[in-house]
Amino acid sequence: MSSRKLLTDFFVLMALTTNVSFVVFPNGVELFVTVVTNLAATLLKMGEGRVLSAELMATGLVADLHLIPALYFFYAGNPAEAVSLAWGALAANVVSVLLVVIDTVLKSYMEEE
């Protein structure tokens, strides 16, 4: 078990769960935590030697580029727009988690070979 992989996977999953919690119950602190976990996940993905590292990085950046404007809209008094952007980020985060699972399976398969 790699500690770096554990940390990255933890934040990828956490990004999804906090995103869900903001969408279900929109409030400022939830959105802030979602942005923080998403950015942490993206930074940790940087330069990782995974099979699908490019795809993972791309989905992470998509989620960030939805959530950062969402934070602005939320505090600028347009929470509806923030929630809709967070839905977009949620889709990217679901893909991200799926990619992490596929990547792990692929890697273990390749190691076995």
Decide: is 39 part of the binding site for other proteins (CB under 8 A).
yes
Region of 15-23, 47-55, 62-70, 83-91 interacting with other proteins (CB under 8 A): 47-55
CB of 7 to other proteins, least distance (A): 9
Decide: is 25 part of the binding site for other proteins (CB under 8 A).
no
Decide: is 15 part of the binding site for other proteins (CB under 8 A).
no
5, 20, 21, 32: which one binds other proteins (CB under 8 A): 32
* The dihedral formed by the CA atoms of 79, 80, 85 and 91, expressed in degrees to the nearest 10: 120
Rounded to the nearest 5 degrees, what angle is found at the Cα of 94, between the Cα atoms of 101 and 68?
A: 125
1, 3, 25, 49: which one binds other proteins (CB under 8 A): 49
CB of 82 to other proteins, least distance (A): 12
Task: Give how far the C-alpha of residue 72 lies from the chain's centroid of Cα atoms, to the nearest Å.
Answer: 18
**26 contacts 82 by C-beta, under 8 angstroms:** yes
- How far apart CA 88 and CA 86 sit, in angstroms, is 5
Chain contacts with other proteins (rule: CB under 8 A): 28-29, 32-33, 36, 39-40, 43-44, 46-49, 53, 71, 75, 110, 113
